[in-house]
Amino acid sequence: MKTRMKSRRGLVGTALLGLLLYCAASFAASAATDDPLEDPRLHSAGFLRGHPDLRFRLNGLDSQDAGRATEAFGFFQRAARYGDKPSQAVIAEMLWDGRGVARNRALAYAWMDLAAERGYTGFLALRERYWAAMNQAERAEALRTGDEVFAQYGDAVAKPRLAGAMRRARNSMTGSRTGMKLDMKIYAGASEGSAQFDNRLFYDDRFWDPDQYQALMDRAWKTRRIGSARRDEVRALPDSLPRSRIQGGGFPE
């Protein structure tokens, strides 16, 4: 994983660089290892089946690595359907720059407004930079078309999608409801030397309870400076910023 992450750092464009550096490490804030995604248990089909936000984000990174920007954009959209805020922000940057998709600054703003829905400061800073750079016609278009983006990808619909996927995947796992949780073993694939592991990290409630999983993501992303957002931009964000210019309202507690 470290080798692949290093290669990604060298291949992505400047605007996407900071976003993608951390896209595969969102669990790091409270996991048992420095980067739990290096653990083979969290790369198994069973785990990723229950975390389509992460699975499609990783697919997008792989496509980005291979130079298939249009394909990557599609994968990030699929991750976005499950409320993956980093993927939503990547979509915004790709639209803003015209990378793998036609350039559309108004739509890019709508996506970054969506990515900032939970008040993550890095995405807020980029959202405010977009707003300042747009002309009045672009701003009006962003506000006019943004409702459709929120209707398909906002937390009100995306969180239940993810919770359902997590519940179905965990309920289908052998031993997850049988009292065998701590006795089972998970075997990594041949590429990992078929090593045998205790599965307690795999079944940790932080990764399977929707509320705990959301809290984990919030801790990982809430105050992170993202991508091309400068430190002075993050520090200068006013307390009175709305959660969303498109949807209105304050930030969630």
pLDDT of 224 reads 64
pLDDT tens, position by position, 156-210? 999 999 999 999 888 887 554 443 343 334 333 444 444 444 566 677 788 889 9
pLDDT tens, position by position, 200-209? 667 778 888 9
25 sits in which H/E element: none
pLDDT of 48 reads 85
pLDDT of 21 reads 41
Neighbours of 212 (CB within 10 A): 14
Cα separation of 36 and 59, whole Å?
18
CB 159 within 8 A of CB 210: yes
User: For the chain, which ranges sit under pLDDT 70?
Assistant: 1-44, 174-201, 223-240, 242, 249-253
Name the DSSP class of 244. -
Please tell me the pTM assigned to this model: 0.76
pLDDT of 30 reads 36
Please provide the size of the chain in residues. Answer: 253
